[in-house]
Amino acid sequence: MRFIQTLLLAACLLTGATVFAQGQSFKAVADKIVAVVGDKIILRSDIYNSIADARRQGANVPEKAECMLLEQAIISKVLMLQAQKDSLPVTDEEVEAELDQRIRYYVNQLGSEDELVRMAGKSVYQIKDDARESVKERKWAEAMQRKIVENVRITPQEAKAFFDKIPSDSLPFFESELEVGQIIFYPKATRDLEEYIVTEMNNYKRQIESGSISFEALAKRVSEDPGSRDRGGMYEINRNDKGMWDPVFLSTSFRLKKDEISVPVKSDRFGYFLIQMIERKGDKATIRMILRVPPVTKNEILASTVKLDSIRTLITTGKMNFNEAATKFSEDPSVKFSGPFMMNREGNPYVTIDQLDKETVALISKMNVGDISPATAYTSEEKKAAVRIVFLKSRTEPHILNLRDDYNRIASEALEQKKAEVIDKWMATKIPTYYIMVDKTSSESCESLQKYNSTDSRGF
C-alpha cells in the first residue's frame, strides 16, 4: 500500500476511534506508551481501539494492522512536528468544521444523534472534545504533506505509463458514479412570524419562573432541537469551542448565573433560543435550552427560488462558472471548506446513487450531464426549509477501468504515486533528525518499525 493511502487510512482509523472508544461495543485496551516522537507520545490504546472500532463497523482491517497503524502514526507525528516548526497554519475553524463533518457522518450512519450518543457512551460535545487534538494534529500533518508535494505534477505520458503497468486481470470494475454540486439558500422568516415566536418564548419564560412547569418538561414538549429534546434540552458546553456553537448562544449562556433564564436570543443560523444555566465550572457549563424556528412561508421560499434562478442564469449564460457562484452565493457553510460538490466516504467528489438522498436522486434522474436544475425547494439534513440548484457535472456508466473513461482517475492515482515517492525521499532525510523511540515489544513484532528507533535509543 502506498504511503499516502496508508497514512490517510491510519488517520481515519485513529481519529474515528475516539467516537466509540468509551462505548459499550468493546473493552478499551489499557493505555501504554508504544512510541515517542520528539515530545509526542503514541498510546497502545490509540492503535487497538482504532482497530476494534473499525472491525465493529465492518471495515476491512488489513493484516498486521497494528504494525501499519503504529508506523503511520510515527510518520504523522514527524509531519506534524515539522509543520509546527515551519509555522504552517491550522485554524480552529478548520478543526471544528472537520469535527462537525465527522459527527454528521456518524449521525447519518446511525440514524440519529441520540443513537450516536447512546453507542458512544458520551455526549456529542465529549466526542468532539476527545477527537479535537488528534484532528488538529492530522491537519498539521496534512498541511506539511501538501507543502512537500505542492509542485509535483503529472504528464499524460506518465499517466499512460502508470495505467499500462496495471495487470489486465487486476483492472477494477466501477458502478455508475456521479459528480453532483449544489448551491443552497435558506429562506428567512418574516418579521411578524419572528415576533410571534418571541412572544411565545417570553411566555415560556414566565411559566418556568412562576413554577407552573419545569424548563426540562417544556423543552421536551416544544423545543425544535431533536438532538436534545429527549434530554430536556440539556447540553454540556465549553466557552472555548467557538467553532462548535453559535456565538450568540455561547456568549449568552456564559453571562447567565446559576438557574437564571435568558430572554429569547436570536441566531441567524438556527432560530431563537431560551437558555437556562444549570451549572458552571470555569470555561465549562451545563445548560438547558429551548429552540424555536420561525416558520418559513411560501412567499419566502418563492423569493429564494427567484434569486437562485437568477444565479442559475448567470452560470448558464457563461457570466460565472458554477464554482465561483457557489463560493460567492451559497449559504451552505461546508462550501468554504470542501467545495460545492457532494463527497463520498473517501472524501472524493464521485458518488454512487445509493449515497444520495431520495430527493436528489429524483431530481438528477431527469437531468443530463452538464445540466443545472431550476431552483427547487427541499428539506435539508438539518430539517430546515431550503432551496437549491443542482449541477450534474458528470455521470459514468458501469465499466472496467480504462484510459478513455477514467483518465482523470488514472492521472490522479499516478500523481499520488509520484507524490508518495517524493514524500518517501523527504521522510528518509527528516526522520533521522527527530528523536524516535519504539517500545521493545512493538519493535520485535513489527520488523518495519525497527528502522525508526534513533541511534541513541534502545527502545523501552
Specify the CATH number for 191-292; select among 3.10.50.40, 3.90.650.10, 3.40.50.150, 3.40.50.2300: 3.10.50.40
Grid cell of 15 as nine digits: 481519529
Alpha carbon of residue 207 to chain centroid: 39
pLDDT score, position 242: 64
- The single-letter DSSP state of residue 351 is B
Domain with CATH 1.10.4030.10 in the chain: 3-156+403-452
pLDDT score for 440: 86
Instruction: Kindly give the interhelix angle for 3-20 and 403-430, rounded to the nearest 10 degrees.
Output: 80
Q: How far apart are CA 170 and CA 401, in angstroms?
A: 10
pLDDT in tens, the chain (460 residues): 343 444 444 444 444 445 555 443 334 445 789 889 999 999 888 888 778 777 766 677 777 888 888 998 999 999 999 999 999 999 888 888 888 888 877 777 777 777 788 888 888 878 888 888 889 999 999 999 999 999 999 999 999 999 999 999 999 998 888 999 999 999 989 889 999 999 999 999 999 999 999 999 999 999 998 777 888 999 888 887 666 677 888 889 999 999 999 999 998 778 899 999 999 988 889 999 999 989 899 999 999 999 999 999 999 999 999 999 999 999 987 887 788 999 887 778 889 988 898 889 999 999 999 999 999 999 887 677 899 999 999 998 899 999 988 898 899 899 999 999 999 999 999 989 999 999 888 888 888 888 888 755 555 6
Which regions of the chain carry the CATH code 3.10.50.40?
A: 176-188+297-397, 191-292
Cell representation of residue 64? 498486521
Q: Which helix (H) or strand (E) holds 436?
A: strand 436-438
What pLDDT, on a 0 to 100 scale, did the predictor assign at position 7?
43
Q: Tell how far CA 309 is from the center of its chain.
A: 30
| The C-alpha cell that represents 307 in the structure block | 434569486
Amino acid (one-letter) located at 383: K
DSSP 8-state code for residue 459: -
pLDDT at 457: 53
Burial classification of residue 408, based on how many CB atoms lie within 10 Å of its CB (0-12 exposed, 13-18 middle, 19 or more buried):
exposed
Q: Tell me, which fold does domain 176-188+297-397 have in CATH?
A: Chitinase A; domain 3 (3.10.50)
Check: CB of residue 95 under 8 Å from CB of residue 136: yes
284-292 and 271-281: which strand pairing?
antiparallel
CA dihedral 86, 92, 95, 100 (to 10 degrees): -170
Q: Within the chain, what is the greatest distance between any pair of CA atoms?
A: 78
The C-alpha angle with vertex 440 and arms to 442 and 59, in degrees rounded to 5, equals 10
Residue 97: what pLDDT? 82
DSSP string, 252-302: HHTTPPTT-BPPPEEETTTEEEEEEEEEEETTEEEEEEEEE-PPP-HHHHH
- Quick check: 331 and 304 in contact, CB under 8 A? no
The answer to whether 410 and 159 have CB atoms below 8 angstroms apart is yes
**pTM of the shown model:** 0.56
Nearest to 79 by CA among 20, 37, 141: 141
- Its CATH architecture, for the domain 3-156+403-452, is Orthogonal Bundle (1.10)
pLDDT of residue 458: 54
Q: What integer pLDDT is reported at residue 230 of this predicted model?
A: 82
